[in-house]
Structure 1
Amino acid sequence: MDLVFADMFPPSRIQYPVIFARLIGAIILGGIIGFEREARDHPAGLRTHILVSLAAALFGIIAIESVNIPGFANDQQVRIDPLRVIEAVTAGVAFLAAGMIVFSRGRVKGLTTGAGMWLAGAIGLAMGFGYWPIAFFATAAAVSVLFALGVIERRLEHGKQEQLPPKEDT
């Protein structure tokens, strides 16, 4: 039974409380962006952004930890390229984000939500690699952009609608 417990909790380069804190941070920061999307009734909202951010953080942590797997010790030399992890997460999230983009009635919809998912992945990677300040700043910047520029866009669209002449009934 000791072997099973030892396998369940292998030695870790990053202490487990730090790993869990990073994962919780990814959940919270992804959730902040997702909440804004959810509040505006967009298809990819709170849960989607949390899961994207959490998955990216987990990939980052696994990348760091994989160097220290006991089976790779001794004679074998393991080289990790963090760019490969970043590229893999970027490609995976981009695939999901592309699914959010729809062309309907001559208009593109879902582009901002897709970009938000992509950013949630990047924030998750920042958390996974332990770059808390970068993750917090990116989240604050994202919410600022989504909220402030969203208000400006709505005002501009409202102004355009007031300037259009009324349609004639035919």
Structure 2
Amino acid sequence: MFNVLDITYRLLTALLLGGLVGWERERHERPAGFRTHILVTVGSALLMVISLSMVELYPDTDADPARIAAQVVSGIGFLGAGTIIREGFSVKGLTTAASLWTVAAIGLAAGAGYYKISTITTLIVFITLFFLSKLELGVSSVNTRILKCRVMDKPGLLGEIGVTLGSKEINITNVNIEKNSNEGEMDVELIVKIPRNFDKSIINQELLKIEGIRAINWRNL
């Protein structure tokens, strides 16, 4: 059986490791932040300790400590799904959902006494979230533009814009529509991914062929 000091050490290790990942998510104001990641990690560690204790208490049974671990991984999937939000054409929260799943695994490792593995994994996760996100943002912004169109408020116009952009291999990642001060007009702002052979003048010519588009403006993200 585990003594109280050993159990406490495992739970505190899980708390610190989960808190580090949770702090990074809290900085970005994600739905699952500091406290949520700690609770997931500590809870996973406790379940692993209980699972291992059951094997020692009942050695003559076919108790398998991996069963509880498997259920933890499955259960975290439902929690992670709650952090995924769809806004317009974009989906947010996938990284946070993945981090919850990962800290659950870290908690299981800490609960099993694999301190080095859990610590190394936490450092890898933290580096991925904290540093690689900046690199990803830098790479992403090079190929991302904001397209703002002043258009007539008429059915099907947004679809025509989407088809025109799609024919030029331009992908829309987000759309925002606002009413304009002019009667019957609105402003459509699109965040788009552009291809390497992007030619703004050609795209503008194609867009202005669409009946109802009054003005076009491009700017960097």
TM-score normalized by the length of structure 2: 0.64
Shift of 1:116: 0.3
Matched-pair contact (CA < 8 Å) for 2:55–2:64: no
Tell me which of 60, 68, 73 is aligned to 2:56. 68
Q: Which residue of 1 aligns with 2:43?
A: 55
Percent sequence identity is 38
* Deviations, residues 19-65 of structure 1 (Å, cap 9, x unaligned): 10000000000000000000111110000000000000000000011
Q: Does 1:122 align with 2:105?
A: yes
Give structure 1 regions of 4+ aligned residues with deviation exceeding 4 angstroms: none
CA distance in structure 2 between the partners assigned to 1:103 and 1:168 by the alignment: 23
Q: Does 1:159 align with 2:147?
A: no
Matched-pair contact (CA < 8 Å) for 2:20–2:126: yes
Q: Does 1:40 align with 2:33?
A: no
TM-score normalized by the length of structure 1: 0.82
Tell me which of 122, 128, 136 is aligned to 2:119. 136
User: Aligned pair count?
Assistant: 151
**Counting strand residues as a fraction of each chain, which structure ranks higher?**
2
Amino acid corresponding to residue 22 of structure 1 in structure 2: R
Q: Which residue of 1 aligns with 2:131?
A: 148
CA distance in structure 2 between the partners assigned to 1:44 and 1:165 by the alignment: 29
**Counting helix residues as a fraction of each chain, which structure ranks higher?**
1
* Aligned partner of residue 63 in structure 2, secondary structure: coil
CA distance in structure 2 between the partners assigned to 1:55 and 1:64 by the alignment: 14
* Aligned partner of residue 144 in structure 1, secondary structure: helix
Which ranges in structure 2 are unaligned for 5 or more consecutive residues?
Answer: 151-213, 215-221
Shift of 1:156: 2.5
Tell me which of 31, 34, 41 is aligned to 2:19. 31
Matched-pair contact (CA < 8 Å) for 2:55–2:65: no
Shift of 1:168: 4.1
Q: Which residue of 2 aligns with 1:96?
A: 79
* Structure 1 vs Structure 2 CA RMSD: 1.6
* Aligned partner of residue 143 in structure 2, secondary structure: helix
Shift of 1:16: 1.3
Q: Which residue of 2 aligns with 1:83?
A: 66
CA distance in structure 2 between the partners assigned to 1:115 and 1:146 by the alignment: 11
* Deviations, residues 122-160 of structure 1 (Å, cap 9, x unaligned): 000000000001100110000011112210122123323
Shift of 1:165: 6.8
